[in-house]
Structure 1
Amino acid sequence: MAHPMTTKNGQPFDRASLESLMRRRLFYTPAFEIYGGVSGLYDLGPPGCGLQSNIIEIWRKHFVLKENMLEVDCTMLTPYEVLKTSGHVDKFSDWMCKDPKTGEIFRADHLVEEVLESRLKGNKEARGQKQDEEKEDPKKKKKKVKTIQAIKMDDALVQEYEEVLAKIDNYSGEELGLLMKKYEIKNPATGSELEPPVAFNLMFGTSIGPSSNLPAFLRPETAQGQFLNFQKLLEFNQQSMPFASASIGKSFRNEISPRSGLLRVREFLMAEIEHFVDPESGKKHPRFEDVKDVELELLNRSVQLAGKTHVETTPISKAVSEGIVDNETLGYFLARIQQFLLKLGADPTKIRFRQHMKNEMAHYATDCWDAELLTSYGWIECVGCADRSAYDLTVHAKRTNAPLVVREVRKEPLRIEEWQCDIDKKRFGPRFKKDGKAVEAAVEALTQDLREKLSMDLKNEGKIVIDVEGVGDGKVEIDKELIAIEKRTRIENTREYTPNVIEPSFGIGRILYSIVEHNYWTRAEDEARGVISFPPAVAPTKVLLVPLSTHPDFRPLVRRLGDKLTHVGVSYRVDDSNASIGKRYSRNDELGTPFGITVDFQSVKDNTFTLRDRDTTRQVRANEEEVCEAIMNLVEGKETWDDVAKRLPIFEGQEVD
């Protein structure tokens, strides 16, 4: 459902106009379009590629360089066994429902959400229409009000719908099916009854090798490669903890019913961080002080479960100290994520952090918060920040016997008093024969509390009875001649532990589209003139070079300016078409190009040029060195346009439509 939004200059947001612009100017295009296309698959054009590259570059500087992270690039093909162990084969699913008449497939939670939101919108419009009609001629009013009452909902039902929507991510498949029955949710196009929701695994299956005997998947996330390389990364980091790895690459999810353009696709770019921490450290972060005063809009789990969507502006230090956010490292990354989104040009009034509810969380998570950006499609999850505890390293170590652990020398030896079991193996084997290993493993698995109790049984009764699965009736008796259980002191000089992991995971495509929406607007004097106000560092092209005409005297100046900009890493384009200067600037405003340099006959005479600002359309004039210096400062964030306009002479004129 479309959400009412306004642009940064207060105008109503027109999604159709923006998406038309993005396709027309080749930010993106449907993949395989001349063959009819495939839903959920898109190609990026030159502006889209430039924008995506700049987002990734800022991400690397903001996270990888700032935090000294270890970047890896892991393969996208993943053997079945790896994702079976990680839990993705069994649990990486969404709920889908099918129209048995047409074969159309819907994602159940999205269908319920869309239908209820549509009904709420219709009810709101109906009420507004009724209020308008009450001011009209009473003779006309009567007939119209009957039409309104047919779709009007009472306040109790409105509240019920709003509570369901607040908890939509927390429902199981069975609960979604019950909601569909209760609210008579059918195929919106045909009105047909739908089958109950069933789980659908989102991974793309494939096979490796000419014999196709090694089943595999296209990875659904970049994380598993980082976990499997943990021991090597720890060694590369000289066994020093904590540390973080990072990875940027394509992932694949077979979305049930991809819609919403770039927001829900089947192949997408991810940037993920795995920050490994010592669980005994309380998951503290050494740089938490740097962000402790950052305020976030938090929508916590309890508020959602109460059927509300109220957010509270909270300093991250307070959120951590009060237990709203579980630990410092999780809180640190939430604050850093917000700072990153603001660098990209996200509207600060359209950012919130929503905590996952219990039923919604991924199978590996103990806590998770999503950074959501408000778009015309509603609140969109763009970054997930999960506490994966020690889940992944533990399951992979158990399956492979690989030592995915940290070993460190203790500052002071640790004295441990514990109950130890000593087995007489010479007698143990002949007594239990083929069951010996199973019985021995059961003894080793006994807890300290149980060992203490069994030591008393051994002393008083001369034997113990333990549970051993798969042996006899599941109970095994062991005589005192075969086992001794004694309390002893053990000195431990080395500590071994499995790290916990905090994982920020960024959906680059979703961020890209949301940033475009947040920065799109139209000129007040001409609504057909669209502008995308990317921050200079984010903009696909930084500078447009505009020669006044095709006069040959301009070419050396344009070439020299281009070489100078290229040398300092500033991207540019030349537009020497026959269109007016105003038109040339206008169509590059649509691409988000922040600055323009005009080359005219005065430039030939005295080597001065006009420098134009995209958002204000104001211009200054200065020599080549001053103009290039101003552009570098603007792109690097050392100056704003106001700073430049104060120190360089204002120029009037020349921009003509």
Structure 2
Amino acid sequence: MTSATTLTGHKFERQFFEAVVKRRLFFTETFDIYRLSPNFKGDNRGLFDYGPPGCALQANIVDAWRKHFVLEENMLELDCTVVTPEPVLQTSGHVDKFADWMCKDPIKGKPTASGDYLRADHLIENVLKARLDRGTGGLTKDAPKLDQATIDEYNNILAKIDNYDGDGLAELIKQYDIRNPENNNEVLPPVPFNLMFKSTIGPSAASPVYLRPETSQGQFLNFKKLLEYNQGSMPFASASVGKSYRNEISPRTGLLRVREFLLAEIEHYVDPDKKQHLRFGEVSDVILPLLDRETQLAGKTTPQKLTVGQAVELKIIDNETLGYFLGRVLLFLQNIGVDLSKVRFRQHLANEMAHYACDCWDAELLTSYGWVECVGCADRSAYDLTVHSKYTGASLTVKEALPEPAKVEEWQATLDKKLVGPRFKKDAKAVQTAVEELDQTTLESLATELAEKGVVAIKTPGLADGSTSVALSKELLFIAKVTRQVNTREYTPNVIEPSFGIGRILYSLLEHVYWSRPDAVERAVLSLPLAVAPNKPIAHRISTRLRKLGVANMMDSSSASIGKRYARDDELGTPLSVTVDFDTLKYGSVTLRERDTMRQVRGPEDDVVRAIKGMVDGTDTWEQVLNRMP
């Protein structure tokens, strides 16, 4: 249990908070009546259903995201298929590399929530954090105290836990006697576990497919069509919102680690030599709490606060476009009501970097479960477009006309095909392809070696005899530097990718806005901003008028007292409540109540409707309404 406090100073108690959001049906465990049945042998962990307020809140967050990014920046939105052929994800590297490290508890002991399998880094984190809590008086005052050296040692490991590979995690488990906390069993050394769900297409089951782990691959494969749609203009961005799937090893943190989730992702395509951003000045003064790589490796977890401009200038953030999106991400989180004192941007360490990324920052939100990655901003370089182009033979490049012709000096390799064909026979095509794919640095090195030795070895996969290289002599291969005139420039774009986990943002936001009345801890309130709150008041005629104005609302005509109805609205996060009573029938006036302050004003229906519409649109404030209405 966290020691965090709510807005009114009460200690945050997760069980009370989750009781509220589940009672009000923001979300619930899926297949719940089966889960509670003694006959059910399945596994529904990591799967959740959203109820009416949860659906509305999620839809409002996505709507705010679309307005903030897609509409504001003229992004090209796609809706791509979830089912993905295996070759696509094989080429992207996900089949081989999209994995977490997993430990097995081999002893069938006390049943645990996570079963026999545990994610290695989370296991170590949970055990060390529990020892720190006990050893510093956080859980029980009777536990033996940890000495400062041990405290520092544990904190140092936790600060860089994401930088350990499988061998490193195995060594930590052995060195610190890390066991399954549910039953104190020893666990086996970590092994990689691929997180993708695999299936097949068609009755023959001959075509393997996966449920996509992210929405990005569909966007990359549509790049050429998007470029043409955008009249060949660079830079530009695509965007996609949709379900993704990851077979989590041991989901046990509510909405924060689930197997089916909603992603909102942006792929911003940019010239690798021009990573400046036209609108960078709009965010250059935005202050970011940055936990960079060097700070983490030093065993520290306190971020430094820098403006986006300073961080880019100091090369803490690699380039303007990456910095621009980090700034825009912070502004988005602020707009939907996230507590900015519980936000940090953490740079990925070397061993945790995705196989496609050359740099990555996570926007992490502080919750009762600790810091949670909610938005990832990765510089994927040209990785994805390059590998898909190489596999398919399709051109995924940009060609731009130069202002004037330019002379280009480059190394060029030429094979004597008359000799190569008879010499290599069936392997001739593979040899030719291998030579054509040599980059300039390699060609320069090979030219020197060929001049000195008269023969060079060229890596050539796919040879008939199973070997992986061929020897080419001066008679077969000629390498020289040539000068040619070009009128166009061709390049493969780099990609900057902000990826938003909507469910994680939703849950973290609910924790951030949760509090209780000072005089009654059981009177819970969710201070959701008007822009994303699920409900915004009322009675039939007023409800209809507000819906025509685009203001979502819910009518409560139950027999409960007005106090209980207000309390119910508070738990649903409803910012404003309109009360229709006997005086409404007599005078035509209604009462408007604001959630957080519980203050009320009364006025004609027209005035109240205008006030609600103004506050929803952001052109009016509650203080202004208070000043002009009785």
What range is the shorter-chain TM-score in? Answer: over 0.9
Change (3 A) 1:419 1:213: closer
* Alignment match, 1:62: 68
Letter in structure 2 aligned against 1:174? D
Aligned pair partner of 2:131 in 114, 119, 125: 119
Does residue 466 (structure 1) correspond to residue 482 (structure 2)? The answer is no
Take 2:421 and 2:581, find their aligned partners in 1: how far apart are those partners?
A: 97
Does residue 104 (structure 1) correspond to residue 126 (structure 2)? The answer is no
Aligned pair partner of 1:360 in 347, 352, 356: 352
Change (3 A) 1:563 1:159: same
Change (3 A) 1:126 1:565: closer
* Alignment match, 1:174: 167
* Alignment match, 2:30: 31
Letter in structure 2 aligned against 1:62? H
Aligned pair partner of 2:528 in 534, 538, 541: 534
Aligned pair partner of 2:626 in 616, 626, 645: 645
* Alignment match, 1:323: 315
Change (3 A) 1:438 1:92: closer
- Post-superposition offset of 1:182: 1.1
Aligned pair partner of 1:84 in 90, 95, 106: 90
- Post-superposition offset of 1:497: 0.7
Moved more, 171-180 or 231-240: 171-180
Does residue 378 (structure 1) correspond to residue 384 (structure 2)? The answer is no
Take 1:232 and 1:276, find their aligned partners in 2: how far apart are those partners?
A: 13
Q: Deviations over 1:316-353 (max 9, x none)?
A: 10000000001111100101001001111111111110
* Alignment match, 1:311: 303
Change (3 A) 1:62 1:439: closer
Does residue 625 (structure 1) correspond to residue 610 (structure 2)? The answer is no
Take 1:442 and 1:42, find their aligned partners in 2: how far apart are those partners?
A: 49
Change (3 A) 1:447 1:581: closer
Letter in structure 1 aligned against 2:473? E
Take 1:24 and 1:639, find their aligned partners in 2: how far apart are those partners?
A: 32
Does residue 94 (structure 1) correspond to residue 77 (structure 2)? The answer is no
Change (3 A) 1:263 1:420: closer
Moved more, 558-567 or 309-318: 558-567
- Post-superposition offset of 1:444: 4.0
TM-score (norm 1): 0.89
CA contact (8 A) 1:454 1:464 kept: no
TM-score (norm 2): 0.93
1:189-588 alignment, distance < 5 Å: 189-281=182-274, 283-423=275-415, 425-426=417-418, 429-430=421-422, 433-441=425-433, 443-445=435-437, 464-468=454-458, 469=460, 474-479=470-475, 487-543=481-537, 545=538, 558-588=539-569
- Post-superposition offset of 1:188: 1.4
Change (3 A) 1:101 1:568: same
- Post-superposition offset of 1:422: 5.0
Q: Deviations over 1:543-576 (max 9, x none)?
A: 1x2xxxxxxxxxxxx3221110110011111112
Moved more, 207-216 or 265-274: 207-216
Take 1:483 and 1:190, find their aligned partners in 2: how far apart are those partners?
A: 66
Aligned residue for 1:389, secondary structure, equals coil
CA contact (8 A) 2:5 2:12 kept: yes
CA contact (8 A) 2:449 2:456 kept: no
Letter in structure 2 aligned against 1:325? I
Change (3 A) 1:602 1:445: closer
Larger radius of gyration: 1
- Post-superposition offset of 1:443: 4.8
Take 1:168 and 1:311, find their aligned partners in 2: how far apart are those partners?
A: 17
Letter in structure 1 aligned against 2:120? A
Q: Deviations over 1:169-196 (max 9, x none)?
A: 1111111111111111112122221111
CA contact (8 A) 1:127 1:152 kept: no
Take 1:226 and 1:453, find their aligned partners in 2: how far apart are those partners?
A: 37
* Alignment match, 1:4: 3
Q: How many residues align?
A: 611
* Alignment match, 2:616: 635
Take 2:524 and 2:558, find their aligned partners in 1: how far apart are those partners?
A: 20
Gaps of 5+ in 1: 130-146, 546-557, 650-657
Letter in structure 1 aligned against 2:219? Q
Letter in structure 2 aligned against 1:499? P
Letter in structure 2 aligned against 1:196? P
Change (3 A) 1:15 1:420: closer
Letter in structure 2 aligned against 1:100? P
Q: Deviations over 1:4-29 (max 9, x none)?
A: 11112222112111100111111111
Identical pairs, percent: 58
Change (3 A) 1:381 1:435: closer
CA contact (8 A) 2:120 2:169 kept: yes
- Post-superposition offset of 1:583: 1.1
Aligned residue for 2:79, secondary structure, equals coil
CA contact (8 A) 1:442 1:467 kept: no
Take 1:272 and 1:566, find their aligned partners in 2: how far apart are those partners?
A: 30
CA contact (8 A) 2:133 2:139 kept: no
Change (3 A) 1:598 1:199: same
CA contact (8 A) 1:372 1:382 kept: yes
Take 1:124 and 1:295, find their aligned partners in 2: how far apart are those partners?
A: 33
Change (3 A) 1:427 1:362: closer
Take 2:383 and 2:532, find their aligned partners in 1: how far apart are those partners?
A: 36
- Post-superposition offset of 1:432: 5.4
Moved more, 185-194 or 319-328: 185-194
Aligned residue for 2:127, secondary structure, equals helix
Aligned residue for 2:355, secondary structure, equals coil
CA contact (8 A) 2:103 2:190 kept: yes
Change (3 A) 1:576 1:403: same
Moved more, 120-129 or 358-367: 120-129
Aligned pair partner of 1:42 in 42, 48, 58: 48
Letter in structure 2 aligned against 1:87? G
Letter in structure 2 aligned against 1:224? Q
